[in-house]
Amino acid sequence: MPNQEVFNWLRTRFFPHIWCPGCGHGIIMHSLLRALVNLEKKKTQTVIASGIGCSSRMVGYIDACTVHTTHGRSLAFATGIKLANPELTVIDVMGDGDCTAIGGNHFIHACRRNIDITAIVMNNNIYGMTGGQVSPTTPVGSSATTSPYGAIDPSFDICKLAEGAGASYVARATIANPKQAEQFIQAGINNKGFSVVEILTHCHTQFGRKNKRRTPIDNVNFFKNNSVPLNKAKEMSPEELEGKIVVGEFVKKNIPEYTAQYLAMVERVGGLKNGK
C-alpha cells in the first residue's frame, strides 16, 4: 500500500483505473510517485505528459499538471511546455510503441536537444490497449496478433537508441525491482538534461498469454531470473548475455541543457531586460 504522502498525489476521484489486474504499470506509477515525494516536488510545479496507450493513461490518475496528448507526440508537447516555463519539472510517460514507433522522431530529437525532461518508457514489448500487436520492441520470434507466425523484424534497444541520440542520463530497470526503478527515476529528474528511464514491464493479457508468460508472477519471475546488473554484464560474453536484460545506469553525462542554453541566448541578446 502506498504511504499517505504518495496517496496525496493520486486523483482517487478518477478510480478505478483502466489497467488489468496484475499489470506492471501501477508499480511504475508507484515508483514515480515515490520519487516525486522523495524529491519534495510540488504538484502545481510538476508537469506529467503522455501520449496514447495503456501506459499513457497514468497521467489521469496523478494529481499534478497533466496532459494526455496524441499518439507518440507527447515529447513535442512537453518540449513546448518546458521551453515556455523552464521552472517546471517535466516528466513524460510513454509506452514502447508510443516512444519508439510513432514517436520515434520526437524521441531522438528530444535526446539530441538534451532538454530537461525525464522520459519514462514503460516497455511491455507489445501494443496492449489495441489488443496485442507487434511493437518495435517485441523480441524476434515472439507471437503477437500482427505477427502470428513470430516477429521477424529486429527490435530496438531503447537505451542504446537514447545514448546514441544524445540523452545525458539513460538507465534501465524492471518492475521486479521497483526500488531501483524509483532510484533511477529520481536520478533522471535530478539530472539537468534529457533523461531516459526504460522500465521493463509486462502485459500478461496481450503478450504473456501468447508467449508462455501467462500470469503476472510468471513475468516478475522472468525479469528476476534474467536481469543482469551492468557491472556484471561487462564481464560477460555476448553469448552469455543472449536473452538477458542488462539493468543499471548506462549514461550519466554533464552536458549543456537546452533551456539553459536558450535562456543564455536570451540574456546575450538583451531579452531579459526587455521582458515579457
Partner 1 sequence: MPDVAFWQGNEALAYGALAAGCRFFGGYPITPSTEIAEIMAEELPKIDGRFIQMEDEIAGIAATIGGSIAGSKSLTATSGPGFSLKQENLGLAYIAEIPIVVVDVMRGGPSTGLPTKTAQQDVMQARWGTHGDHGTICYAPSSVQECYDIAIKAFNAAERYRQPVLIMSDEIIGHMREKVVPPVIKPEDLVERKRPTDIPEKFVPYRPDPKDDLPCMASFGDGYTWHITGLTHNDWGFPTNNSDEIEKMMKRLMRKIDRFRDDIVEYETVLTDDADILVLAYGSVARTSLRAVHEARTRGIKAGFFRPITLWPFPDKELEKLARKVKTIIVPELNCGQMVLEVERAVHGKAKVVAQNLVNGELFKPDDILSVIEEVA
Point out which residues bind partner 1 (CB under 8 A).
11, 13-14, 43-45, 47, 59-60, 63-70, 73, 76-85, 87-88, 105-106, 109, 262, 265-266, 269-272, 274-276
Q: How far is the CB of 40 from partner 1 (least distance, A)?
A: 16
Cell of 209: 498469454
**Residue among 193 and 208 whose Cβ is closer to partner 1:** 193
Considering the complex, state which of residue 13 and residue 21 has its C-beta at the smaller distance from partner 1.
13
Which residues on neighbouring strands pair with residue 89, listed in sequence order?
46
Nearer to partner 1, 167 or 246 (CB): 167
Q: Which is nearer to partner 1, 57 or 204 (CB)?
A: 57
Rounded least distance, CB 136 to partner 1, Å: 18
Q: Which residue lies nearer to partner 1 by CB, 39 or 272?
A: 272
Question: Which residues face 20 on adjacent strands?
Answer: none
CB of 166 to partner 1, least distance (A): 13
Helices (H), 129-257: 158-165, 178-190, 216-226, 230-233, 238-241
> Considering beta carbons, is residue 76 or 185 the nearer one to partner 1?
76
Show Cβ contacts of residue 232 under 8 Å, excluding neighbours closer than 6 positions.
none
Least distance (Å) between residue 97 CB and partner 1? 16
Gap between the Cα atoms of 124 and 54, Å rounded: 10
Strands 169-174 and 245-252 turn out to be antiparallel
Angle, vertex CA 118, rays to CA 112 and CA 119, nearest 5: 80
**Shortest distance in whole angstroms from residue 77 CB to partner 1:** 4
217: helix, strand or coil? helix
**Min separation Cβ 91 and partner 1, Å:** 12
Type of residue numbered 235:
E
Contact 74, 51 (CB under 8 A): yes
Angle value at C-alpha 31, between 75 and 52, nearest 5 degrees: 35
